[in-house]
Amino acid sequence: MQISMIINGQEKAFNVEPDEYLSDTLRSAGYKSIKRGCDKSSCGACTVLLEGKPILSCSYLSFRANGKKVTTLEGEREEAIKLGSLIIKEGGDQCGFCTPSLILTTIALKRENANPTEEDIKHYTNGNLCRCTGYVAQLNGIKKYLGVE
């Protein structure tokens, strides 16, 4: 099945299987920031932005993204460097497997809510699991990025 998506601002065409997940389509196209963690929609490592909203690409069929805008971490380089640096300064990077999805989710939060609270951050990033650091260091980096006291 032929589909097209606008990925990080560029239109791309794909030939996908009806049961192919978006994470597989994007990774095979070279978007390696998308991680395959649990394949059960529970860890958040496969998060991408679809029309600006975080989705779990390991459970989203590729054909559903036909004609839509998809953003991966590769498309948010400048913001990713800013936020990633703050997370590293707080000691929240460790293996980095969860970091791309956490950064994308935080960028979506920033665009959706100009003045988030700490509770807003916790609620919005709830589905992004980290098995290395816990969440305090990451939360501190995110709070600095978003200007939350």
Q: What is the pLDDT of residues 41-76, one digit of tens each?
A: 889 999 999 999 999 999 999 999 999 999 999 999
Helix/strand/coil (H/E/C) assignment for every residue in 35-102: CCCCCCCCCCCCEEEECCEEEEHHHCEHHHHCCCEEECHHHHHHHHHHHHHHHHHCCCCCCCCCHHHH
**40 φ, ψ to 5°?**
-130, 15
Query: What's the rounded Cα separation, in Å, for the pair 71 and 54?
Result: 9
**10 φ, ψ to 5°?**
-120, 130
Q: What is the pLDDT of residues 68-101, one digit of tens each?
A: 999 999 999 999 999 999 999 999 888 888 999 9
The whole-number average pLDDT for the span 119-135 is: 90
Higher pLDDT, 135 or 20: 20
Chain position carrying tokens 């239109």 = 11
Please say if the pLDDT value at position 18 is more than 90: yes
DSSP structure class, residue 13: E
69-71/2-7 β-pairing: parallel
Please say if the pLDDT value at position 32 is more than 90: yes
Q: Is 14 strand, coil or helix?
A: strand
Please say if the pLDDT value at position 131 is more than 90: no
CB atoms within 10 A of CB 125: 23
pTM of this structure: 0.93
Q: Is 105 strand, coil or helix?
A: helix
